[in-house]
Amino acid sequence: MTRFTPTTTVPETARRNGLVRSGTRTVPEEVPIAFSYGGTSHAVMMGTPADIEDFAVGFSLTEGIITNVDQIAAIEPIEDERGIDMQITLVDDAADALRVRRRHMAGPVGCGLCGIESIEQAVREVPDVSKVALTISYGDIVKAVALLSDAQVLNHETRAVHGAGFYIPAEGLIAVREDVGRHNALDKLCGALIRSGHRGPEGVVAVTSRLSVEMVQKAAILGSSVLIAISAPTALAIRTAEEAGMTLVALVRGDDFEIFTHPQRITPGSIADVA
């Protein structure tokens, strides 16, 4: 739990249908959320202060700091008036691996190549999900996005946050997480899933944002072979999904959508019964 709330109410002056009125609006909060391992700060993200333990676990997974939730011994949020510091304690092997990684990332200032580790991380290889035995129908695509939209509680209040959901054919949408940041929402979803014992190969990741390469990387690390979005993909996201064996579906609008990679996982199926 955190004393920070995910939303707040602010005064506004609105013009609607030619009329001006004073009122209030609910908006999402955005606070610094730091991830510290062994007492040392690793990264600070601006995010929505909700589901922050899921965020800590999911970030640790998608950043390659852990490979499973059992490698985290404890998570303690430390708060002040400015933000939240997630103090994460790793088990010995994972803590040792992170210390080695930090030493390799340290380099001389001004060398001209100091960013090489960050560049390699940005274009890192992603896990191969081509062998995942999952097929979905046209109806599954439409249903996953429709259910995700319906389940976005924070977005219904604010109209200002992204959502990420996990959909299993024949079961439906089993988890949803939201955040002002699209990457954060997906990290929170990854954390929620591995904490609950679900595995990425079981289902489909659906998001309300555009598909950048980072979204493909995170979904592949989770182990999901299908990534669906309501917006468009980037060229690098398409190339990365193609190489990873991931099915990329985007621009889902009602019954319409576009398939960019590995369409063999998608079978014709009824859309009429989705609503």
Q: DSSP string of 163-194?
A: EEEEEETTTEEEEEEEESSHHHHHHHHHHHHH
Q: Do domains 31-122 and 136-267 have the same CATH topology?
A: no
**Is 111 noted as a catalytic residue in this protein?**
yes
Tens of pLDDT, residue by residue over 173-192, are 999 999 999 999 999 999 99
Tens of pLDDT, residue by residue over 216-261, are 999 999 999 999 999 999 999 999 999 999 999 999 999 999 999 9
For the chain, which residues make up each domain, given as ranges? 31-122, 136-267
Spatial distance between the Cα atoms of 46 and 31, rounded to a whole number of angstroms = 5
Which residue, 207, 201, 203, 266, is CA-closest to 233? 207
User: Residue range 41-60: average pLDDT?
Assistant: 97
Which residue, 82, 89, 105, is CA-closest to 36? 89
**DSSP code, position 68:** S
Locate all alpha helices (DSSP H) within the chain, ordered by sequence. Answer: 52-62, 92-105, 116-122, 138-151, 153-158, 182-196, 213-222, 235-244
pLDDT at 121 over 80: no
Does CATH number 3.40.140.10 belong to domain 136-267?
yes
Spatial distance between the Cα atoms of 203 and 201, rounded to a whole number of angstroms = 6
- Please state, as a whole number, how many other Cβ atoms lie within 10 Å of the Cβ of residue 142: 22
Average pLDDT, the chain: 92
Name the percent of the chain lying above pLDDT 70. 91
Q: Do residues 217 and 126 make contact, with C-beta atoms less than 8 angstroms apart?
A: yes
User: What is the pLDDT, as a whole number, of residue 108?
Assistant: 46
pLDDT at 91 over 70: yes
CATH says 31-122 is which class?
alpha beta
- Please state, as a whole number, how many other Cβ atoms lie within 10 Å of the Cβ of residue 169: 18
Pick the catalytic residue from 109, 111, 133, 275: 111
